[in-house]
């Protein structure tokens, strides 16, 4: 397990950590060890502290902290006593931002289960890969996506399928109306056949008296959080209760500077299954006593703006592309955002044009930081009591150390680019059942090699200048070129494929695919239609270009740098 003490490297001293100078007086250089043994215990203590105050709201309904704790305990009891799930078993959660998510999450964690977050937009092919790797015994899925589960279920380890509908946490008659509209009016629920599926509402009948504390400890695994990883390819970061408890405490110090604990409302627009919103919103702001306003469909910017107008939030947690989309609507400029004390951009780099326009329209700043799944995820942030330093990812969090490594593994000279390495209690335990991949990114003395190329200013501010790993970052979501290339090459008319990022005004980057045809009859439309069945939307290429051959290394590997050069030459 990672130590809570401040990690160090030789030589040691404050001179190596100049960023301490930018900590406000109320933020310590190190955090204290977590007082709770687990996230489930944290939820119970938080409920005792904040009681009837609103913890989550969505679709016109609300949940108090007491209700979250009570419902989570009922769900934990049902999982234990009715389904026979035991500590260490895996359970998949596949749903957007609905109130079902936090109660299912805390219920599963309280029962000692390992949560496997799955993107609701996964294709059956993508979901099958996760299920095969994680070997879950149960899945909780929104009915809108249950048809994918039907395809994946045969031959899998899943014993129990629990289906929820969008309005299941609302009171009647609104529950029935919302569910009817989703199914009959908006046609959002496809036909599926899961005859033994359990209705989510049944979980709420669990008897909390029969719940047995499974004795979850710091070292127990809380999440298998799937990511392409710093080395590419689908894999899950193993995140413990220790990792998550520490990370939320590391960044909460900065939140306390600008927001009032127990009296804050925050917009949760990023999906809670994404590691950033998971840690910051569902765990961190919950622990802070904040009211999380869950946005189920942030792409509906008209409805989103109405929510902002009604809620008058103190804090916004967004992604750069979403901030840009909101500002495209004329009604956004008419909003009264005077209550907003801090806006946070997560998931992807903040585009400078977005930050500038946000400043002009709202008279406030968007705070940018940096994180990755393997670090639970937050590593650094621009201090909240200072104007953000545009173009930087801020300074490391308490109990977090960083190094900038040259090619030979030594510390790069100050100001020179090198691979960013991170050490701290938020660093993952490794990749699930992949010791070789884990060894590639975790050193023997506990440093995480992020694969990102960074520089450090002389006063400790960090800048990301490039990515060593060839990730395509689409609106904050990682797309790994190998996944796209592999999917394309499943088509019988594709001989070879190579993928690179190209710039996009809205998403930051999008994938472009270069293909060598095995059969000249293959068209772009045919391949696009094929990939629609294999990959979720943000992973699909926006452009496909056919070449006679792909540039390769001397050992025959597709040279993506060569593809980038081809693309750059066209722009000249």
pLDDT at site 332: 95
Reported as a pLDDT band with limits 50, 70 and 90, residue 14 is low
How far apart are the C-alpha atoms of 295 and 298, rounded to whole Å? 6
Tell me which residue has tokens 């496909």.
544
Say whether pLDDT at 10 is over 50: no
CA-CA-CA-CA dihedral for 260, 261, 266, 268, to nearest 10 = 150
pLDDT tens digit sequence for 96-143 = 999 999 999 999 999 999 999 999 989 999 999 999 999 999 999 999
Q: What are phi and psi of 210, to 5 degrees?
A: -85, -5
For the residues 274-303, what does the mean pLDDT come to? Answer: 96
Q: Answer whether residue 294 shows pLDDT above 90.
A: yes
For the chain, give every residue range classified as CATH 3.40.50.980: 62-217
Q: Calculate mean pLDDT across residues 11-26.
A: 80
- pLDDT at position 4 over 50: no
Q: Residue 217 — very low, low, confident or very high, per pLDDT cuts 50/70/90?
A: very high
pLDDT of residue 229: 62
pLDDT of residue 556: 52
DSSP-assigned states of every residue in 516-570: EESSTT--HHHHHHHHHHHS-GGGS-SEEEE-S---B-TTS-B-HHHHHHHHHHH
pLDDT at 231: 61
219 burial type by CB count under 10 A (0-12 exposed, 13-18 middle, 19+ buried): exposed
411 or 351: which leads in pLDDT: 411
Confidence (pLDDT) at 541: 96
pLDDT score of 354 more than 90: no
- The gap from C-alpha 291 to its chain's centroid, in whole angstroms, comes to 19
- CATH class of the structural domain 62-217: alpha beta
The H or E element that residue 448 is part of is: strand 448-456
Query: What is 171-187 written as a DSSP string?
Result: PTTHHHHHHHIIIIIS-
Residues of the chain with CATH 3.30.300.30: 472-571
Q: How confident is the model at residue 5 (pLDDT cuts 50, 70, 90)?
A: very low
Q: How far apart are CA 365 and CA 7, in angstroms?
A: 32
- Per-residue pLDDT of 540-559, as tens digits, reads 999 999 999 988 754 456 78
**Percent of the chain whose predicted confidence (pLDDT) is above 70:** 94
Specify the higher pLDDT residue, 486 or 197.
197
Res. 12: pLDDT tops 50? no
More confident residue, 430 or 363: 430
CATH fold of the domain at 472-571: GMP Synthetase; Chain A, domain 3 (3.30.300)
As a whole number, mean pLDDT of residues 414-431 equals 95
- Indicate if the pLDDT at residue 8 is higher than 60: no
What integer pLDDT is reported at residue 13 of this predicted model?
52
End-to-end CA gap in the chain: 51
Distance set, CA 153 to CA 157, 199, 247, 531 (Å): 8, 17, 35, 22
Cβ–Cβ < 8 Å for 431, 438:
yes
**Across 84-103, average pLDDT:** 98
What's residue 311's pLDDT? Answer: 96
């Amino acid at each position: 397990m990672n130590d809570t003490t401040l990690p160090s490297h030789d030589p040691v001293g404050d001179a190596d950590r100049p960023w301490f100078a930018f900590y406000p007086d109320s933020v310590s250089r190190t955090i204290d060890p977590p007082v709770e043994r687990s996230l489930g215990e944290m939820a119970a203590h938080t409920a005792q502290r904040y009681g009837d105050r609103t913890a989550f709201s969505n679709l016109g309904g609300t949940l108090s902290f007491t209700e979250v704790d009570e419902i989570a305990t009922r769900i934990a009891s049902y999982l234990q006593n009715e389904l026979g799930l035991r500590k260490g078993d895996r359970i998949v959660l596949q749903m957007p931002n609905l109130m079902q998510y936090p109660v299912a999450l805390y219920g599963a964690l309280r029962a000692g289960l390992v949560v496997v977050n799955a993107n609701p937009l996964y294709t059956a092919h993508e979901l099958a890969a996760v299920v095969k790797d994680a070997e879950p015994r149960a899945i909780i899925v929104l009915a809108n996506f249950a048809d994918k589960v039907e395809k994946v279920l045969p031959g899998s380890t899943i014993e129990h399928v629990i289906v929820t509908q969008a309005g299941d946490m609302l009171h009647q008659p609104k529950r029935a109306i919302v569910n009817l509209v989703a199914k009959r009016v908006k046609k959002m629920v496809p036909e599926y056949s899961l005859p033994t599926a359990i209705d989510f509402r049944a979980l709420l009948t669990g008897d909390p008296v029969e719940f047995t504390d499974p004795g979850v400890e710091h070292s127990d695994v809380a999440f298998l959080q799937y990511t392409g990883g710093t080395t590419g390819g689908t894999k899950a970061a193993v995140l413990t209760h220790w990792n998550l408890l520490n990370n939320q405490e590391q960044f909460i110090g900065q939140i306390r500077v600008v927001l009032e604990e127990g009296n804050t409302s925050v917009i949760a627009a990023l999906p809670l299954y994404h590691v950033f919103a998971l840690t910051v919103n569902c765990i961190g702001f919950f622990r802070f006593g904040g009211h999380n306003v869950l946005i189920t469909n942030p792409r509906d910017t008209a409805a989103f703006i109405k929510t902002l107008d009604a809620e008058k939030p103190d804090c916004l947690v967004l992604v750069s592309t979403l901030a840009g989309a909101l500002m495209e609507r004329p009604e956004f400029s008419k909003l009264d955002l005077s209550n907003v004390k801090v806006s946070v951009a997560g998931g992807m780099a903040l585009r400078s044009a977005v930050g500038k326009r946000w400043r002009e329209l709202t008279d406030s700043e968007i705070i940018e930081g940096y994180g990755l799944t393997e670090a639970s995820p937050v590593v650094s942030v621009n201090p909240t009591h200072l104007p953000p330093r545009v173009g930087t990812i801020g300074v490391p969090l308490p109990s977090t150390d960083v190094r900038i490594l040259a090619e030979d593994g030594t510390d790069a000279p100050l100001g020179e680019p090198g691979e960013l390495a991170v050490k701290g209690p938020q660093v993952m335990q490794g990749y699930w059942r992949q010791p070789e991949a884990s060894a590639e990114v975790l050193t023997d003395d506990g440093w995480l090699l992020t694969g990102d190329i960074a520089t450090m200013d002389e006063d400790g501010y960090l800048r990301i200048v490039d990515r060593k790993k060839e990730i395509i970052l689409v609106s904050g979501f990682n797309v790994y070129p190998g996944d796209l290339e592999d999917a394309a090459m499943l088509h019988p008319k594709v001989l070879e494929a190579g993928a690179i990022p190209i710039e996009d005004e809205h998403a930051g980057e999008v994938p472009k695919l270069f293909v060598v045809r095995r059969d000249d009859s293959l068209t772009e439309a045919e391949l696009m239609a094929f990939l629609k069945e294999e990959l979720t939307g943000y992973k699909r290429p926006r452009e496909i270009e056919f070449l006679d051959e792909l540039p390769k290394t001397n050992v025959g590997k597709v040279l993506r740098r060569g593809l980038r050069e081809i693309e750059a030459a066209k722009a000249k």
